[in-house]
Amino acid sequence: QSETISVTDNGTVRDTTLELTVLEADSSGTLVQATVTETTTGDPVTTGRVDIGNQSAALNASGMAVLELEKRPSSFIDGQYVPADWWRANQLYSAAEDRVTVPPNYPKFQKLVQLFLVTLLWFLPVALAVYGFDYLTDGAVLGLRDHQ
């Protein structure tokens, strides 16, 4: 079979920009939003797909795609915009790449304070019991105090 394909705009390839944004990152996975726009005009690109690792997602009418990565990746996520095949697209676009840093998953300040208080409340009675036992025996058993 053969088909006649006309390329509009004299086959001009427009430059694109890929922007990756980490929406959510936790121990179960990472949610990444990819936005592809034309570099010169800023208009959204609606054809093609975005590849991150072994996952791929097509662009929607707003030029965005959302990918859910199952495992938490290392510090960086690399993505690539793959334009639609030239014979299927009305407009030709160039490929684009971007890298985003995954924010570290540090515990919140409130969790650290709770950990400190719980640890203190667990070990304070033990420390007082050991010191009290040493005080009652006048340091003879544990040797924490000098006995005269």
Q: Which of 15-29, 34-48, 126-140 has the lowest average pLDDT?
A: 126-140
d(CA 44, CA 59): 9
Q: Do residue 25 and residue 75 come from a single domain? A: yes
Show the domain range for 27: 16-101
Q: Model-level pTM greater than 0.85?
A: no
Q: Which tens digits make up the pLDDT trace of 50-63?
A: 999 889 999 999 99
Instruction: Single out the residue of 4, 5, 3, 14 nearest to residue 92, CA to CA.
Output: 14
Q: What is the pLDDT of residue 40?
A: 92
Q: Domains in the chain: how many in total?
A: 2
Q: With a cut of 90, say whether residue 33 has pLDDT above it.
A: yes
Q: Do residue 118 and residue 95 come from a single domain? A: no
Q: With a cut of 80, say whether residue 74 has pLDDT above it.
A: no
